[in-house]
Every structure is written in C-alpha cells, then in structure tokens.
Amino acid sequence: MSRFARIAAVWCSAFVLIGAATAAEPPPAPLSTPAAALEIAVDPRIELVAAVSYLAGGRDGWSPRSESPYREAMKAWAEPYRKHPAVARLRAIQGFAYSYPAQAILHFGPPPAFEPIAPVPQDAIDAIGGPRAMDAWVRSLREFARDTRYMAFYRSQQPQFDKMLARARATLGETDIVGPFERFYGLQPQRYSVILAPNILAGAFGPNVALPDGRHHFYNIQGAAGLVDGVLDFGQAASIASLGWHEFGHTVVNPLDAAQSTKLEMSASLYAPIADDMRAAAYPNWQVAANEALVRANVLHLCRTVFVADAAITCIESQLTGSVVFDGYVYRIADFRTAYYERFRAKWPTYADFHPIDLQVLELLAASRRTS
C-alpha cells in the first residue's frame, strides 16, 4: 500500500469511528445573546497589579509592546512608591507571572478594598506558593492601593482610557463575538468582558470567574498591538474576536481535557515532531499542546464562519504559531467541525458532547503519522 493510500485509509476510518449520520441535520438556532452582552473596559484591578509589577522590575507577560502617554503617566506616578512593601513582596515571589496574577485578582472586587467575590482557583494558589502566600499578596495590594491613593490616580487617567475604549468599540462596531461563540459551544448565556490592558504584553490572558448564579464571567484580558495617532490600538475586529474566542474557549475546553488526560496520552506521539517549537512557546508537554490545538481549531472554525476575505485571514493568522507541523494539526482538527460537528448538531448539541470525537481525531492523526 502506498503512503498516500495508507493515510487515506486511516482518515476514512474516521467515518466508522464517528458514526456519521445518513443525512445532514441543520445546526440549532443561535442563542439570543446580543452583541451588547460583550463588555469592553479598562479594569483598575489589572492596572494596579501592572503598576506594582512595573515597580518590582517587571514580571513575565507584564511588559507591554508599546509605550503610551498613559504608561508614562503611570511610571511617573509610581516612582515614589518603589520601596513600598507590596513591591518587595511581589519581587520575592517566583513563578507567579503571565496569567496567574490576573486570574487571581479578578476573584476580588475593585481596589482599595479587594473584597473576595469568589474562591481563587487552585492553580493560581499553587503558583504563588499556597493560601497564605495568596492572602499576603492580596493584603499587600490593599495596603498599596490605600497608601498611594491609587484610585485617585486611576480616575485621573480616565481621558486616556476613554480614547482607548472609543477606538476599540469603533473597531468592533457591530461584530458579534458572543453569539457565535455560545452557539458553537452550545452554552447558555454567560457574562463576557474584553479588558483592554495597556500594561501587559501584546496577546491575552483568559481567566474566568464562577458567578453566584451558576454562570461564568469569561475574560479576554488583551494587550495593545501598538500606538496609533497617540492612542493605544488593540487590533482589528477580526483579531480582537480571534483572541477573545481563544481565551473564552480555554474556559470550556480546559476542564474537558483535564478530565480526559489519560485518553489524551493515546495521541502523545504527536508531540515529538513539535517538541522544540512547543517548548519555546511555553507548551512543555503534549497535554498542554493538545489543549492549545483543540482551542485553536475551534477558533479557526469560528473565523471561517463569521468573517470573510481579508478579515477571515487576519482572524485565522492570529491562531497560527509558525510551527508548520503543529499548525497542520490545528487545520486538520478544524476540518472536523464542518464535516461532522456542525452537520449533526442534534447528535452533538454542545462541544462537550463532541469532545470525545476530538480525542479520536487526535488518535487518528497519531496513527497517520506512524503509518506514513
């Protein structure tokens, strides 16, 4: 059997594994979630953490691509407080960087009180060194906010924030990020926020907070793409949507992957050809890389569904890593959303129902590489 025939046979077996229906079924009607359900804001919790991070010497993920009038004002305001105990405390903490500070602080209300609103996730607690370390860090932020009268400074920057928000809202226009996301994942209406974060690295963090009513608050905390006419710009509508779908998607996909970690290992041979690229991107093992591949494949499908022409290309390109092999995995997985998931939504009304098929697809990919 030729190499092409062997691979074709493996992929044709997907029809047997998945049990395709005999006729296409229409997708369910979109959930009635208006575009206005997406909040766009600047958040004082994130900005205060960024100010302390700046004084502590910078933390991974908390050094922006672009300087701005607001950042210059923040640096000038912050300098007299470089010796504050909150700065020394953060400087002494190792490994508590990237999304962890944002994930943790969003489980508290606004400064200076930082009243708890939901339990902090265990992974953030582990990253900082345990519950006592988390309590001490939050307490130090309360003290910093009160000692420095931080909120007075934050309010003084509202004109800068208004310019950023006006640009981002004008850029998004009528683009609906929430509706297609909830329809694809089969979710009931949740709460969604894009937080413009001038003081984080270009890219995004995607924490979520469990709400008392059983919903989740999905966050896309997004860094700026650059400075345009003196105002921070956060990208085109397609790239904002793409980042949002990616970060929101982790809230749904991560728990599903975690519950199927043993099954994910069945396709672990896919990691070897991409190991160097993945480790450079901070994806240290197949569990993490597979999670990223599934989330990115879902975003690719949304990009293809919502946008056309150049906007679709912009949306898709923001999900590509530059690793030809890994990106190939993502494209292959994405194709199954059109061929199966979307055609037979009565069989798989939610992505959680379809997730076991994704794990089979990963196993098929691994088998095709072994036989090629």
Identify whether 116 is preceded by a cis peptide bond (ω within 30 of 0).
Answer: no
- Model confidence at 59, in pLDDT bands (50, 70, 90)? confident
- Number of residues that make up the chain: 372
* Averaged pLDDT of the chain: 90
Q: Where are the alpha helices (DSSP H) in the chain?
A: 3-18, 44-55, 69-78, 85-92, 99-105, 122-128, 131-148, 150-156, 158-172, 178-185, 237-259, 261-264, 275-280, 286-306, 309-317, 324-336, 351-371
User: Model confidence over 297-336: pLDDT tens digits?
Assistant: 999 999 999 999 999 999 999 999 999 999 999 999 999 9
Would you list the domain boundaries of the chain? 35-40+161-241, 44-157, 249-371
- Model confidence at 33, in pLDDT bands (50, 70, 90)? very low
What single-letter amino acid sits at 122? Q
User: Model confidence over 104-121: pLDDT tens digits?
Assistant: 999 999 999 999 999 999
How far is it, in rounded angstroms, from Cα 179 to Cα 201? 28
DSSP state, residue 337:
I
| Sign, Cα dihedral of 318, 105, 67, 231 | positive
User: Model confidence over 240-299: pLDDT tens digits?
Assistant: 999 999 999 999 999 999 999 999 999 999 999 999 999 998 899 999 999 999 999 999
Q: Which of 80-84, 98-102, 141-145, 349-353 has the least mean pLDDT? A: 98-102
Where do we find the tokens 């640096």?
75
The answer on pLDDT for 24 being more than 50 is: no
pTM: 0.88
pLDDT at residue 317, rounded to an integer: 95
What percentage of the chain exceeds 70 in pLDDT? 90
User: Model confidence over 197-223: pLDDT tens digits?
Assistant: 999 987 889 999 999 999 999 999 999
For residue 216, which phi and psi values (nearest 5 degrees)?
A: -120, 150
What single-letter amino acid sits at 153? F
Tokens encoding 266: 């069945």
The answer on pLDDT for 9 being more than 70 is: no
What percentage of the chain exceeds 90 in pLDDT? 82
pLDDT at residue 60, rounded to an integer: 86
- Model confidence at 58, in pLDDT bands (50, 70, 90)? confident
